Amino acid sequence: MAFDPSFFEQQRRNLFNQYGQQAALNAYQRYLAETRGQRPITQLEEAAFGTTPGGGLGQVPKLTSSYARRGLQGQNVRSGIYDQALQSYAKNRARDIGYAREDLAGTSRGYNLADTQGLANYQEGLKDLESDKARQIASDAQALLQLR
Amino acid sequence: MAIGITKYVGAGSRPVTKKAPVSSLFKSGLPGPDGEEDGSGPTITDESSGSGSTSGAYTYASALAKIKADQDAAAAATTRAITGAGNQAGYLTGLLNQGIPANVANIISQGDVSGKQYIADQYKLLADQLKGSYTPETNVGTGYLGAQGRTTAGYNALQNYLQANPPTAFQQAPQVPATTVSNDLAQYMGGQGVSTAPVDPTIAALNAAAGGGAQNYSSLLSTLGQLQQAGQQSRLAEQQMGRSGALSGLEQLYQGQTGGLQQQQLQALAELQSNIFGQQLTAEQQAAARNQSIQDALAALLGTGYINPGQITPTTITGAAPNTVVTTTEPKIVAPPVVTPPPKTPIEQLAAIPVKASNTTLINKIENFVTANPNATAAQVKKKFPDLGKNIK
C-alpha cells in the first residue's frame, strides 16, 4: 500500500523501450521502403534519355532513334506520327514518374506518421504514468488517514 | 412504708415521722463464705459491747445520713442526666440539616471538573493527532494534514509535468513536401517544334494531386495534434478533478473521524455526568440517612424525659438538599459539669456497712461508736474496727 516510486520507474522504462524498439523498426522499414520506392523513379528517369558514358542522362530521348530509322523523324523531316508519339511519351513518362514519386512520398509519410504516433503514444504513456502516480499517492494518503 | 417518708396520721394532727428501727437496716442477710446465707454474718471482733442507752439516737442519725447521701446521689445523677441530655440535644441539633459535607461535595465537584478537563484534554490530544502535520520541504507528515499535503504534492507534480510537457509529437512531425513533376522533354520537344500543350494538363493534374496529398497529410497531422492537445486539456482537467476528489475524500474522512471523536467525547461526558449525579445522589442519600439517624437519636433522647421537645430546634428534618456550598462548622461539645457527690464521712461509711442482723453484738458496738464519735476519723474507725475499717476511706 505504501507508495513505491520504483514501480512507476519500471513502467517508464518499459514505455521507453517499447517506443525505442518501435521507432528503430520503423526507421529500418522506412529505409527499405525509400530504397524500394526510389528504384522505379530512377529507372523511369534513366529509361527516357539513356545514359552518357559519364553516367549522366543523355540529351536525346531513346524514342527518337526508332522513329528516325523508319524515316519519320530527322533533319527536315516532320511527321504527325512522331509528334503525337513524342507528346504521348512525354505525357506517360511524366505520369509514371509523378506516380512513383507520390508513392514514395506517401510511403514516407506513412512511416513518419508511425514514428509520430509512436512518440505521441510514448508521451501519453508517460502522462498516464504520472496520473497513475498522483492517484496512487492520493489513494495511499487516504488509506493512511483511514488507519487512524 | 419507705424509709424517711412523711406520713400524716389523722386530720389536724402533726406529721409524724416514723423512724425506722436501726436494726432493720442491718437485716440484710449476707451470704456466708460458701455462698449461702447462714445468718452468722461476718466475723467481727466485738471489742465493746456498748451500753445501749444511746443506740436509738445513733441508729436514727445514721439512717438519716444514709438517706441524705442516697438522695444527694440521686439528685446529682438526675442533674447529670439532664445536663447531659441538654448537651446531647444541642450537639445533635447542631448536626441537623447540614446536607452533604463540604469535603465530600468538594471531592465530587473536583471529580466533575477534573473529569471534564481530562476528557477535553484527551479529545484535544486525539484531535491533534488526527489533524497531524505536514512539512512541504520534506513531504513528510501525519494525520489529515499529512494526507492532504501528500495528495496536493502528488497532484502538483502531475500538473507541473503536464504543463512542462505539452503535446508536441504531431506539431513537430517530419513533413514530406509535395512532390512535383515536370515535362523533362519540354525543351527537346520545343527544339523539334512539337507542341507541349497536350502534356501540360497531365503535368498540372499530377502536381495538383501531389499537392493535395501533401496537404491531406498535413491536415491529418494537424488534426491528430489538435486531438492530442485536447487530450492534454482533458488531462489537466482530470488532474484538477482528481485533486478535488481526493481532497474531498480526505476531508470527508477527516470529518467522519472527527465526528466519531466528538461522539466519543460526548459519551464520555455523559458517562461522567451520570457518575457525578450518582455520587451526588449517594451523598444526598447518606446525608438524609445521617439526618434521620440524628432525628432518631433526638427522639430517643426525648424519650428519656430529661429534655422537652421545645429544647430541640429545629424539631423536624426539612430534607431539602443544600444548593449552596455547605460549610461545615463542627458544633462545640460543651462538657457537662461533673457533679460529684460529697464524700461520705468515715462514720457514714461505717454505718453503711451491712452487718448480719443476728450479730447484735457487733451492731451494738457500731451504734455505740457512731453515737459516741459522730465525727470520728477514718483512723479512729479503723482502730476500733480493724476488719470493717479496711473499706473505710
Residue B311: per-residue pLDDT: 76
Is the CB of A87 less than 8 angstroms away from the CB of B199?
yes
First to last CA, chain B: 32
Residue B42's pLDDT band (cuts 50, 70, 90):
very low
Q: Which residues of A touch B130 (CB under 8 A)?
A: 148
| Cβ proximity of A105 and B176 under 8 Å | yes
Count interface pairs A-B at CB distance under 8 A.
Answer: 180
The DSSP code for B242 is H
Nearest Cα of chain B lies from the Cα of A96 at a distance, in angstroms, of 10
Indicate which of A57, A101, A109 best probes the interface with B, i.e. most B CBs within 10 Å of its own CB.
A109
**What residue of A is the nearest CA neighbor of B152?**
A138
Nearest to A90 among B176, B189, B257 (CB): B189
Instruction: Nearest by CB to A102, from B154, B210, B257: name it.
Output: B210
Q: What is the distance, to the nearest Å, from the Cα of residue B117 to the centroid of all Cα atoms in its chain?
A: 16
Please, what's the b/e burial string for B35-51 (b: 16 or more CB within 10 A of its CB; e: otherwise)?
Answer: eeeeeebeebebeeebe
Q: What is the pLDDT of residues A25-47, one digit of tens each?
A: 999 999 999 999 999 998 888 87
Residue of A nearest to B185 (CA): A90
Per-residue pLDDT band for B53 (boundaries 50, 70, 90) equals: low
The span from the first CA to the last CA of chain A, in angstroms, equals: 15
Q: Which of residues 39-68 of A touch B (CB under 8 A)?
A: 45, 48-49, 59-61
Chain B 6-25, residues with CB within 8 Å of chain A CB atoms: none
Q: For B172-227, how does the pLDDT look when each residue is reduced to its tens digit (9 = 90+)? A: 999 889 999 998 888 888 888 889 999 999 999 999 999 999 999 999 999 999 99
pLDDT, greater one: B375 or B235? B235
Structure confidence by residue, pLDDT tens digits, A101-148: 999 999 999 999 999 999 999 999 999 999 999 999 999 999 989 887
User: What pLDDT is recorded for position B16?
Assistant: 46
Domain residues of chain B, as ranges?
Answer: 25-98+328-391, 102-304
A133 touches chain B (CB under 8 A): yes
CA B289, B294, B295 angle in degrees (round to 5)? Answer: 95
The answer to whether the CB atoms of A105 and B213 lie below 8 A apart is: yes
More confident residue, B153 or B50: B153
Integer Cα distance of A82 and B73 in angstroms = 182
- ipTM comes to 0.85
Phi and psi (nearest 5°) for B337? -65, 135
- B388 vs B173, more confident: B173
Q: Which of A95-99, B171-175, B241-245, B372-376 has the lowest mean pLDDT?
A: B372-376
- Which carries the bigger pLDDT value, residue A3 or residue A118? A118
pLDDT at B337: 63
Q: Could you tell me if B129 lies within 8 Å of chain A, comparing CB atoms?
A: yes
Instruction: Supply the pLDDT for residue A105.
Output: 94
Question: What pLDDT band is residue B329 in, cutting at 50, 70 and 90?
Answer: low
At B95, the pLDDT band (50, 70, 90 cuts) reads: confident
pLDDT at B48 over 60: no
Average pLDDT over residues B351-358: 80
